[in-house]
């Protein structure tokens, strides 16, 4: 009986997860709720509709926004007209025409690929890399014989991280042992039926040959809304995700860095990688890029927030945690090649070399670049729990041109999404990050949730304002966005809990980005 209950839960959860994803692929542009008319209770939007009434009277100029991400499809029909092209690089001649150290970087650069064209797909989480490195230092370490308090503290932290890694790998390995036989059984059923897409009639007529087949078919027959093919697709995706966690992200024995061919120990090394900016999975970056700069008014797909934004594509994020060296080089590349805004929809709980990222952030700030970063999706208080990268620099200083973004949704009562990180001191403002419809690979469109979607909304608003008022500085643009938010004085549900808190306590500004207000304020600042 217990086995039946577990199997039923697995099947239903897989079917539900896939169903939601599938619906997201077929829904159309009515999902651009965050750009439409503002309603305090029903549609806490960014007032982009009213903002464009102001933009139409201005003369916006082009502005380059770098999307540092996991890969972006530069050929999507709703994006390709707004992809940045390196004006000094002759495409595909295998020469570094502009002498910037990156051959054929026509639309950007991929820092997690090799010169032979190979690319890192999956990589470890940072905690795993730290455990792997520190295991060399603490091999055979005897705490009782070591009086060094600092080393003892590091050893205790190492043991804590090691336990975390081992427990998670064990958890996902066990999940894989549960899911894989179910998936194998379903694929056996499809083979017996002679089709990969069995109809409801075929499912009803099928005679199970094993106990597992009987359970699967019985559950399907009792849940007519759950099709066999959708359930199979959902299970395939679940197994894939679990395999990545068990065999790659939480596996200390797995290290794909040799693909890149750099000297990973040399944090100052810059010139490595390749120009394959889409990577093996371009969904995340393509979705982010569309929020910022999908072509407006072309009669297809979606409308980007900033009509004059050009997307520079920089790939540094694998299916796992990004490496600090790559993040730093991505920021420097973007700043050196003309990006005014950098969107960073990624983050992690540990940092390997924060200083190299800090140096790059300061470098970009000195060049007048605005950096926009997603606050994270763990419903954590970023004032209490580390989230990297961030605006904290050495010596107690903070980057003045950095904006940290939490995710909001439509309805006021649940204005902060249940997954969003927050922080009165370390999250600057909120922006829509729930059911955000945007571009996807293979000329597609999908909904997605996350602070990863909220960050490009803010980057898009910043680009819109800056394109209309190009004489502003990065610090002024940040100040404008912070001071022009739509505030909500009431209480909302604290992310990840059922508690109620004042929305104003969840960020520095206490509000949601507002494109119309930002343009009006920018007109006064100029």
Mean pLDDT in residue range 320-342: 98
pLDDT at residue 29, rounded to an integer: 40
Please provide the average confidence, as pLDDT, over all residues in the chain: 92
Q: Model-level pTM?
A: 0.92
Using a pLDDT cut of 90, give the percent of the chain over it.
84
pLDDT at residue 467, rounded to an integer: 98
pLDDT at residue 3, rounded to an integer: 45
Q: Does 166 have pLDDT greater than 60?
A: yes
Q: Kindly give the pairing relationship between strand 486-487 and strand 500-502.
A: unpaired
Q: Does 489 have pLDDT greater than 60?
A: yes
Mean pLDDT in residue range 268-288: 97
Q: Does 353 have pLDDT greater than 90?
A: yes
Q: Does 218 have pLDDT greater than 70?
A: yes
Q: Does 18 have pLDDT greater than 50?
A: no
Q: Does 7 have pLDDT greater than 70?
A: no
Closest CA to 302 of 23, 22, 34: 34
Distances in whole angstroms, Cα of residue 69 to Cα of each of 42, 122, 272, 331, 374: 32, 14, 17, 11, 11
pLDDT at residue 1, rounded to an integer: 41
Mean pLDDT in residue range 209-224: 85
Mean pLDDT in residue range 494-504: 96
Torsion of CA 286, 339, 356, 153, to 10 degrees: -50
CA distance 277 to 283: 12
pLDDT at residue 20, rounded to an integer: 36
Identify the band that residue 216 occupies on the pLDDT scale cut at 50, 70 and 90.
Answer: confident
- Cβ atoms of 63 and 312 closer than 8 Å: no
pLDDT at residue 383, rounded to an integer: 97
Q: Does 186 have pLDDT greater than 60?
A: yes
Mean pLDDT in residue range 12-21: 42
pLDDT at residue 112, rounded to an integer: 98
pLDDT at residue 60, rounded to an integer: 97
Q: Does 13 have pLDDT greater than 80?
A: no
Identify the band that residue 139 occupies on the pLDDT scale cut at 50, 70 and 90.
Answer: confident
CA distance 244 to 457: 29
């Amino acid at each position: 009986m217990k086995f039946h209950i577990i199997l039923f839960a697995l099947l239903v959860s897989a079917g539900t997860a896939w169903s939601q994803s599938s619906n997201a692929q077929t829904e159309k542009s009515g999902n651009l709720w965050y750009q439409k008319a503002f309603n305090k209770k029903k549609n806490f939007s960014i007032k982009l509709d009213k903002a464009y009434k102001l933009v139409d009277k201005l003369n916006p100029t082009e502005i380059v926004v770098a999307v540092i991400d996991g890969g972006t499809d530069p050929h999507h029909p709703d994006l390709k007209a707004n992809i940045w092209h390196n004006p000094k690089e002759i495409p595909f001649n295998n020469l570094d025409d502009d002498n910037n150290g990156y051959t054929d970087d026509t639309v950007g650069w991929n820092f997690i690929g090799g010169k032979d064209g190979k690319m890192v797909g999956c990589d470890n989480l940072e905690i795993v890399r730290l455990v792997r490195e520190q295991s060399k230092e603490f091999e055979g370490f005897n705490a009782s014989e070591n009086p060094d308090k600092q080393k003892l503290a590091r050893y205790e932290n190492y043991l804590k991280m090691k336990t975390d890694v081992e427990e998670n790998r064990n958890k996902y390995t066990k999940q894989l042992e549960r899911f894989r036989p179910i998936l194998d059984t379903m694929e056996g059923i499809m083979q017996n039926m002679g089709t990969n897409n069995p109809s409801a009639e075929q499912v009803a007529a099928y005679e199970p040959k094993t106990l597992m087949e009987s359970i699967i078919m019985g559950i399907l027959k009792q849940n007519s809304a759950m099709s066999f093919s959708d359930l199979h697709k959902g299970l395939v995706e679940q197994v894939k995700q679990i395999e990545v966690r068990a065999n790659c992200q939480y596996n200390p024995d797995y290290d794909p860095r040799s693909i890149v061919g750099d000297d990973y120990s040399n944090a100052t090394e810059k010139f490595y990688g390749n120009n394959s900016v889409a990577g093996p999975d371009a969904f995340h970056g393509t979705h982010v890029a569309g929020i910022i700069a999908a072509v407006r008014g072309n009669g297809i797909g979606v409308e980007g927030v900033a009509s004059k934004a050009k997307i520079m594509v920089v790939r540094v994020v694998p299916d796992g945690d990004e490496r600090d060296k790559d993040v730093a080089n991505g920021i420097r590349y973007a700043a050196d090649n003309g990006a005014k805004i950098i969107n960073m929809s990624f983050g992690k709980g540990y940092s390997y070399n924060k200083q190299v990222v800090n140096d790059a952030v300061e470098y970009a700030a000195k060049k007048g670049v605005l950096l926009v970063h997603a606050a994270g999706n763990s419903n954590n208080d970023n004032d209490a729990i580390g989230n990297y990268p961030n605006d904290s620099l050495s010596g107690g200083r903070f980057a003045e041109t950095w904006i940290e973004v939490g995710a909001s949704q439509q309805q006021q009562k649940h204005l902060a999404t249940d997954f969003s990180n927050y922080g009165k001191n370390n999250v600057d403002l909120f922006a829509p990050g729930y059911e955000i419809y945007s571009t996807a690979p293979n000329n597609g469109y999908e909904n997605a949730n996350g602070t990863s979607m909220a960050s490009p909304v803010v980057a898009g608003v910043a680009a819109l304002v800056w394109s209309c008022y190009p004489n502003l500085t990065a610090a002024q643009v940040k100040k404008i966005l912070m001071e022009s938010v739509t505030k909500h004085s009431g209480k909302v549900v604290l992310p990840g809990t059922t508690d109620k808190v004042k929305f104003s306590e969840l960020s520095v500004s206490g509000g949601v980005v507002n494109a119309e207000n930002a343009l009006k304020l920018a007109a006064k600042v100029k």
